[in-house]
Amino acid sequence: MKINEIFKSIQGETTYQGLPAVFIRTTGCNLRCSWCDTTYAYSEGNEYSIEDILKITDKYSCKDIVITGGEPLTQDETLLLIDRLITLGYTVLLETNGSLDISIVHPDTIRILDIKCPGSGMAENMMWDNIKSLKPHDEVKFVVSDYNDYIWAKSVIESYNLVNLCHVLVMPVFGRLDPKALAGWIINDNLDVRLQLQIHKYIWGPDTRGV
Ligand code: SF4
């Protein structure tokens, strides 16, 4: 597999926010979001065997593993890696961009499914059938860059009844949308979602890699 970086940190997002985890960031992405904060993962990386990766995760002695990118599902080996990690007893979270089929992933994986809002420039690439395979332990994530994105996300949440399917996360694009504005819209609309801030960026700064 081509891997951009492997490191241990605190989970900055999701309902696992604040817990330690080992992050495996794969190289390559099939999308180009306007606000992407991991452009370095588009092509930078080195080849690792699955055995190499398992040796590294073992050394960290941490039960939670986050597989992120880039887009992990652009590499077929990601499915094998997840199977091996789950067999070894890890809790595996997969962050995936919503454009590729998530139904083929091991059923015990906690899938964090992005639904790209129009401001990303990638909304047309969403694979909407992914919503049919969501389980209660999965999470959907909307990254919102402005009020138009928020209204769009709200309409998707309501039309697919997402809050009754799984966890729903809504977060502002860091440095572009004031979290106070997003919090106010959620409160005013009584939207039953979880506002997320990327706490790793508040702890270590927005441009620090490997955290
Ligand atoms: S899907 Fe993720 S890695 Fe790919 S361009 Fe969008 S934000 Fe960047």
Which tens digit of pLDDT belongs to each residue from 88-135? 999 999 999 999 999 999 999 999 999 999 999 999 999 999 999 999
Q: What's the pLDDT band for 30 if we cut at 50, 70, 90?
A: very high
Give the DSSP letter of residue 173: P
Nearest-CA residue for ligand 1 atom 7 is: 36
Give the Å distance between the CA of 31 and the centre of ligand 1. Answer: 6
Q: Which overall architecture, per CATH, does domain 2-204 show?
A: Alpha-Beta Barrel (3.20)
Which tens digit of pLDDT belongs to each residue from 168-183? 999 999 999 999 999 9
Does any ligand 1 atom lie closer than 6 A to the CB of residue 69?
yes
Alpha helices in the chain (DSSP H): 50-60, 77-87, 147-159, 179-189, 199-204
Does any ligand 1 atom lie closer than 6 A to the CB of residue 38?
yes
Q: What is the pLDDT of residue 50?
A: 98
Placement of tokens 């699955």 in the chain: 50
Does any ligand 1 atom lie closer than 6 A to the CB of residue 33?
yes
Q: What is the pLDDT of residue 207?
A: 86
Nearest-CA residue for ligand 1 atom 5 is: 32
Task: List the domain boundaries for the chain.
Answer: 2-204
pLDDT at 209 over 90: no
Give the Å distance between the CA of 32 and the centre of ligand 1. Answer: 6
